[in-house]
Structure 1
Amino acid sequence: MRTITCRVQRYDGKSKRWIEEYKIPYEKGMTLLTVLTTIKEEYDQSFTYTSACRAAICGSCAVQINGQAFLACKTPLDDVLEALMTDTLFFEPLASFEVIRDLVVDWEPKFEKMKKIKPWLNPSSDGSREEGFIQSERDFHKINAASDCILCGVCSSSCSVLESSSDDSYLDPFILNKAFRFVMDSRTANPEEHLRAVLDNDLWKCVHCMECVTKCPKEIDLTSEIASLRSMTMEMGETKNLGARHAYAFYNDIKNKGRLNEATLPMKTEGVFTTMKKRVPLAMRMMAKGKINPLEIPKEVEGIEDVRKIYAYVQQGVQE
């Protein structure tokens, strides 16, 4: 009989941590939540995890398996075994969360963090309490996908920026999604307050690794939302920060030459003084390895006129 070896990260809620191993008989059609329930009901009643709806609505059953985050109730066991090419699964609590016990994580710090972006509708004066706010179908669809978020935490567990951050300043992807949802809501009185909140909390740190998008059980395009938030902050005049200057440096290099000038990119982003202070040692090592040539002036790529036509076409669409 085929068995699945489940190695589970245990924690007693105080100080003791250990790995517990369970061998579960394989059955076709099992989900990851079925595996967790089997361990709890048939092998070890002290084992602790969270679940509720079993229908990918509440978001409470998210866990990490072999370093990858999944929503347990929605994910077929067979898909995981095939993707990971192993019958040995290592269950852990979500990364980037404080652990309460076993696979149970503490959401309270995350909700406190979410308050920074004012995740509520501050209504405009266009509607009345009696009549409500009439929203067009087009305006509704602007927030429809973002509203699908079930706060499962899979995106946070998959975020490389949260994993590498030494402080708690960067906002989780689901928090940025919530900010996007209220910025885009046609009934919002002051979208700028949400935009300034995300800008003040390291909006530009996202590296577009797309892990949050590929792991999201609701298939929300979080990376595009973050890019839109960045564009909107620049549109309201926030163009002097490092992120905006870096974006403009990319934009202008590609428009002018069709390729990046990596030698001047740091100076355009951070300024000459900061670049000389922080980047020269790295630049010297890269020069020694032949990675960059500061004397080389990039030439225009073949077909640069077509590149500029694309810029003009996009700019025309933005103005319209």
Structure 2
Amino acid sequence: MHTTINIKVKRFDGEKEWYQDFQLPYEKGKTILWALTSIREQFDPTFNFTSACRHAICGSCAIQVNGHAFLACKTSLDEVLETFNTNELTFEPLKNFEVIKDLVVAWEPKMEKMEQIKPWLIPSEEGSKEKGFIQSEEEYHQIAAPTDCILCGICASECNQLAVNDGTYLDPFILNRAYRFAVDSRDCAPEEHIRPVYENELWKCLHCMQCVTKCPKGIPLHEQVAYLRQESIKMGEVNNKGAKHAFAFYDDVKKKGRLNEVMLPVKTEGVINTMSRIPFALRMIKKGKINPFHMPKAVDGIKGVREIYKYAEEVSES
């Protein structure tokens, strides 16, 4: 049983940054937001963080705790202490954001990036004259999950691609918003939402799934990324490494039921670009990771695999 909680807070005054230590008496049933508020009210009124609704609706109170992003008002302090098995907590601002002061981050650059995907309905004039913009229950459910996004920034903080990208890759919550309008039955121009996503390195998603596992609303961002990629292919955007890699997977599994890992880089990047990877390939061969002379045979039950492909193609066309 904890009697005190030792909290280290990352401070920033616009010029320099440092860590400041605080010690709070443990109280059962509290939240991270309670700890933040207690620090400001009891120890340092200059300490800055953001919060508003206290009910996981506004999304303004997200921070990092011990290197992981949480929504402060929703997250139980008891659960965090149990998860990390310690009474030593470090509070820091969200990653992949510009920091304004202490735990307060700037959203303006993110909103400017979001404008690229036109996060609004582009209605059909003909449709509005005939039946207005009434949706069926099924059509509504297509946008229900993505509309739950509260722009807390947790997905962006946890995104490993944003951590290494030069700034062109769009934040996961922007991808979510593009998907939300692209699938809306009342929107007549889904391509205008999808194309900017494709042009900003859509295929560089690392599939780390951190945006999904940490989302406080459980939004299936991985499914949305897959949908946006599929739609970009339907738009004719197939001359890129991402699409070529996907087609290589598709063809290999359909033919043999397994991947030909030796030929996969060649199909994805071409012969010339693959040549630059020879030193790496030689090291893998030396370690026994790949066998350049192995040609995979079809798996048992390959007919069943092809039947699945056939069924999927028929469903897609219907």
TM-score (norm 1): 0.96
Q: CA deviation at 1:131?
A: 6.8
1:109-161 deviations in whole A, cap 9, x for unaligned?
Answer: 00011111111111112443797411111111111100010000000000111
1:10–1:101 Cα contact (<8 Å) kept: yes
CA RMSD of aligned residues (A): 1.3
Indicate the SS of the match to 1:186: coil
Match of 2:39, SS state, is: helix
> Aligned partners of 2:126 and 2:86: how far apart in 1?
57
For structure 1, the 5+ residue unaligned runs are none
1:175-210: per-residue Cα shift (whole Å, max 9, x none)? 000000010011112111111110000000012111
Tell me which residue corresponds to 2:213.
214
Please state if 1:8 is matched with 2:9: yes
Q: Which aligned segments of 4 or more residues in structure 1 are displaced greater than 6 angstroms?
A: none
- Superposition deviation, residue 282 in structure 1: 1.0
Is the partner of 2:176 in helix, strand or coil? helix
- Are the counterparts in 2 of residues 117 and 198 from structure 1 also a CA contact under 8 Å? yes
The match for 1:282 among 277, 280, 283 is: 280
Q: What secondary structure, in the 3-state scheme, does the structure 2 residue paired with 1:54 have?
A: coil
Deviations 1:206-256 (A, max 9, x none): 121110000000100011100111011112222121111100101111111
Q: Compared with structure 1, are the counterparts of its residues 37 and 181 closer, same or farther at alpha carbon in structure 2 (3 Å cutoff)?
A: same
Q: Which amino acid aligns with 1:301?
A: V
* Alpha-carbon distance in structure 2 between the residues aligned to 1:132 and 1:56: 33
Is the alpha carbon distance of 1:233 and 1:130 closer, same or farther for their aligned partners in structure 2, counting shifts above 3 Å?
closer
One-letter identity of the residue aligned with 2:162: L
Aligned to 2:159: 159
State how far apart, in whole Å, the 1-side matches of 2:110 and 2:129 are: 32
1:57 aligns with 2:51: no
Which deviates more from structure 2 when the two are superposed, residues 288-297 or residues 86-95?
288-297
Deviations 1:44-103 (A, max 9, x none): 111100000101111000000111000000111111111111111100000000000000
In structure 1, what residue type is equivalent to 2:8?
R
User: Counterpart of 1:219 in 2: which secondary structure?
Assistant: coil
Partner of 2:227: 228
Deviation at 1:305, TM superposition (A): 1.8
d(CA) in 2 for partners of 1:76, 1:124: 46
1:112 matched residue in structure 2: 112
> Match of 1:174, as an amino acid?
F
The 3-state SS of whatever aligns with 1:271 is helix
- SS of 1:27's partner is coil
The equivalent residue for 2:72 is 72
User: Which residues in structure 2 correspond to 1:270-309 (within 5 Å)?
Assistant: 270-276=269-275, 278-309=276-307
Residue 253 of structure 2 is matched in structure 1 by 254
Which sits farther off after the overlay, 202-211 or 302-311? 302-311
Q: 1 CA distance for matches of 2:246 and 2:235?
A: 15
Distance 1:98 1:202 in 2: 21
Q: 2:311 aligns with which of 301, 305, 313?
A: 313
Show structure 2 runs of 5+ residues with no match: none
Note the C-alpha offset of 1:270.
Answer: 0.8
Using the size of structure 2 for normalisation, the TM-score is 0.97
Q: Does the residue aligned with 1:90 lie in a helix, a strand or coil?
A: strand
Give CA-to-partner distance per residue, 1:262-304, whole Å, 9 cap, x none.
110011011111111x211211111122211111101112222
> Which position in structure 1 is the counterpart of 2:174?
175
Distance, in Å, in 1 between the alignment partners of 2:211 and 2:8 is: 25
**Residues 238 and 130 of structure 1: is their aligned pair in 2 closer, same or farther, counting only changes over 3 Å?**
closer
Q: State whether residues 127 and 134 of structure 1, in contact with CA within 8 Å, keep that contact through their aligned partners in structure 2.
A: no
Distance 1:280 1:187 in 2: 50
Deviating more after overlay: 82-91 vs 131-140: 131-140
Q: Distance in 1 between matches of 2:41 and 2:141?
A: 43
